[in-house]
Amino acid sequence: MAIRIGICGAGGRMGRNLVAAVAERQALELTAALVRPGSSLAGVDVGELAGQGAMGVAVETDLEAALSRVDVLIDFTLPEATAANVDACAAAGVPMVIGTTGLDDAGADRIRRAAGSIPVVHAANYSAGVTLALQLLATAARALGDDYDVEVVEAHHRHKVDAPSGTALRMGRVIADSLGRDLDDNAVYGRQGHTGERDHRTIGFETIRGGDVVGDHTVMFLGLGERLEITHRASSRMTFARGAVRSALWVREQPPGLYDMEDVLGLKA
C-alpha cells in the first residue's frame, strides 16, 4: 500500500518540485496539497500547477481536514506557518518532514515538543551532498583547529527571505561545535567600515542574493600560506525535493523523535 503524502506550501517553488518528486516514487501517493487560506490557487489541480499533468488532487487550505488523509506531511513553508502546522500534526499523530528555515527559538521549541509524540525530520538542507559536506567540515575543523580562520559564503536567488541561509548557519554550528566554540558568541554577519583586526575565534558569514541561484555554499579555512575550501553547489531544487521525499519514506517507520538528514542517510555512529 502506498504511503500517503501531504505537502504544505504546494504552490511555491519548492512545493511544486516536491509534487514532482512524489510523483516519481511508486511507493508514494500524493493525497493532499495545501496552501495558505485565501490563496487563489485553492481548487486548482496540483499536478497541473506543478507541470505534471492532472493528478486528481485539488489544492486546499484546510490542514486539519487534510491530515486525516495523509501518512506523512512535508512542510516547506514559512516559520509562523510551520509552527502551527507542527502542532496540528502532533495532535493528529502524523509524522513530519520539515524544510522551513528562519525559525526562531520559539518555533524550534515547538518542533522539539512535537517530536516527543511524533517522528520529525527537520533539516536545513535535504541534499545528500550537503549532508556529507557537514561531516567533512567537522573533520576539517578538528584537524586544522584554531590556527585557521573560518569564513562561510553563501549565495541564493533573489526571492530568498532569510539570511544567512539555514544551511550556512548549520555549517557554522558544526564547525563551532567541532572547535569547542559557541557560534552565538563568535559569529560575525558581514563587515563594514573600520572593523579592526580579526579575532581568530570568529566564524564569519557573507550572504549573496541575486538571480536564480538555487544554492551555493563555500566554507574557507584560511591559514598562513594555504587555504582549504569546501564547496557545495546545487543546480536544481529537485535535489532538495528528492531528499525530502526520501526522508518521508524513512520517517514513517521511526519512533517519535527529532531527526535530521544524517539519520536518514545512516551516517550517525
Question: Tens of pLDDT along 251-260?
Answer: 999 999 999 9
Q: Is 268 a catalytic residue?
A: no
Which is catalytic among the residues 160, 194, 200, 217?
160
Secondary structure of residue 74 in the 3-state scheme? strand
Q: What share of the chain is helix, strand, coil (3-state, %, to 5)?
A: 40, 25, 40
Q: What is the pLDDT of residues 63-83, one digit of tens each?
A: 999 999 999 999 999 999 999
Secondary structure of residue 154 in the 3-state scheme? strand
> Using CA atoms, how far apart are residues 139 and 145, in angstroms rounded to an integer?
10
Mean residue pLDDT of the chain comes to: 95
Q: What is the pLDDT of residues 14-57, one digit of tens each?
A: 999 999 999 999 999 999 999 999 999 999 999 999 999 999 99
Residue ranges and CATH numbers for the domains of the chain are 3-122+237-264 (3.40.50.720), 128-234 (3.30.360.10)
Whether pTM > 0.75 for this model: the answer is: yes
CB atoms within 10 A of CB 259: 20
Residues 6 or more apart whose Cβ sits within 8 Å of residue 85: 8, 63, 73, 75, 77, 96
Which is catalytic among the residues 122, 156, 217, 232?
156
Q: Is 122 a catalytic residue?
A: no
pLDDT band at 5 (very low <50, low <70, confident <90, very high): very high
Residues 6 or more apart whose Cβ sits within 8 Å of residue 180: none
pLDDT score of 1: 79
Q: What is the pLDDT of residues 179-207, one digit of tens each?
A: 999 999 999 999 999 999 999 999 999 99
> Using CA atoms, how far apart are residues 33 and 15, in angstroms rounded to an integer?
9
Query: Between β-strands 215-222 and 203-209, what pairing exists: parallel, antiparallel or unpaired?
Result: unpaired
Q: Mark 17-47 as b/e (b = at least 16 C-beta within 10 Å).
A: bbbbbbbebeebbbbbbbbeeeeebbebbbb
